[in-house]
Amino acid sequence: MAEDDFFEDLDNTSNIGDVIKESEEQLRQTRELREREKKMIREERRRRMIEETKREKKTEEEQDVHLPPVRGKHKKKSGNEDDVIISLNGVGKSYVKGVPALEDVNIKIRKGEFVFIVGDSGSGKSTLIRLLLRELKPTTGTITVNGMRVDKIRNGKIPKLRRSMGVVFQDFKLLKDRNVYENVAFAQRIIQTPVREMKRNVPNMLAVVGLAGKYKAKPTELSGGEQQRVALARALVNQPPILLCDEPTGNLDPKNTVEIMNLLDRINKNGTTVVVVTHNDKIVNDMQKRVITIKNGVVVSDEEMGVYLDEDN
């Protein structure tokens, strides 16, 4: 009997290694639990957004039956729906059949918002931008931009759609053999702006981006930050309601990055809806704007005043 007690005691006495192992295991379990909780919250939020979109879609369809087609600005002013300028409902895009680059994306952006879209390389951010511009057609879902149904718009209306969005890319895409003035004026010529107006608009826009003194310079004579400001002036000179930026600071040093971001903030405060694709976590965290995170083609979070989520933390 005494012997049995002795062995039982031995069993209950753990050595220090076991204690550490045990607490490590506990820690791991707590972490796992927290991860699961976070995931559940994200999924719940996503589910709610999808439901909301479905409800709104239904109301839209019901309204369509009774009302003649109306242009955006003549629609009744009350209600939130009128404030939405970009809307994606159940949007999917597969370049290769069965391999989605985007899957069931539901996003609503209101007039005058500033939104970051973040995610690793290859997560589908540029695909999203190209869908908005109708450079690509979605495989599933509906897209509305500035009152136009992008997914079923006729070819003849695409220029009108694209005029509602100024676009800026990582590599500036300036005309190398034209000077700053001509690069910006180019956008005005495309829409046949009268010369007198153009001569007012282009210098105004160059002043806004802080390049009034460099209107004669060629892109090769400018720094990266200056080139991106020319691209911004070109994107904005026709006064589109929306500005899309795909990795606008990807080729810039930290100082120019901050300057471009401040400029985007000012442009937004002036009323333009701004959508910025980036994977610069520092600027995202500094700016305190809405952040939509895409992972493997799926929206995994959408937060007002968000931060760049590092999923591994």
Specify the residue, 117 or 235, whose C-beta has the smaller distance to Mg ion: 117
With CB under 5 A as the rule, give the number of residues binding Mg ion. Answer: 1
- Closest to 275 measured CA to CA, from 283, 264, 262, 259: 264
Query: 11 and 18 in contact (C-beta within 8 Å)?
Result: no
Q: Which of 202, 275, 270 is nearest to 238 (CA)?
A: 202
Please tell me whether residue 141 binds ligand ADP under the rule CB under 6 A.
no
Output the CA angle 138-261-265, nearest 5 degrees. 85
Q: Which of ligand ADP, Mg ion, none binds 122 (CB below 5-8 Å, type-dependent)?
A: ligand ADP
Q: Which C-beta is closer to ligand ADP: that of 205 or that of 300?
A: 300
Where do the H-state alpha helices sit in 156-223?
158-163, 180-190, 195-208
Residue 95 interacts with ligand ADP (CB under 6 A)?
yes
Residues 6+ apart with CB under 8 A from 129: 167, 244, 246, 275, 277
Q: What residues are paired with 145 via a beta bridge?
A: 86, 148
Q: How far is the CB of 162 from Mg ion (least distance, A)?
A: 19
Work out the angle at residue 167's Cα, subtended by the Cα atoms of residues 136 and 85, and round it to the nearest 5 degrees: 75
To Mg ion, the closest distance from the beta carbon of 126 in angstroms equals 3
Mask for 100-139, x = binds ligand ADP (CB under 6 A):
-x-----------------x-xxxxxxx------------
Tracing tokens 């007002």 back to the chain, one arrives at: 304
Min dist CB 92 to ligand ADP, Å, is 12
CA distance 253 to 203: 26
Residue 256 in contact with Mg ion, rule: CB under 5 A: no
Asked if 126 interacts with Mg ion (CB under 5 A), we say yes
Residue 183 binding ligand ADP, by CB under 6 A: no
Query: From residue 57 to residue 76, what is the string marking binding to Mg ion with x (rule CB under 5 A)?
Result: --------------------
| Interface residues toward ligand ADP, by CB under 6 A | 95, 101, 119, 121-127
| Interface residues toward Mg ion, by CB under 5 A | 126
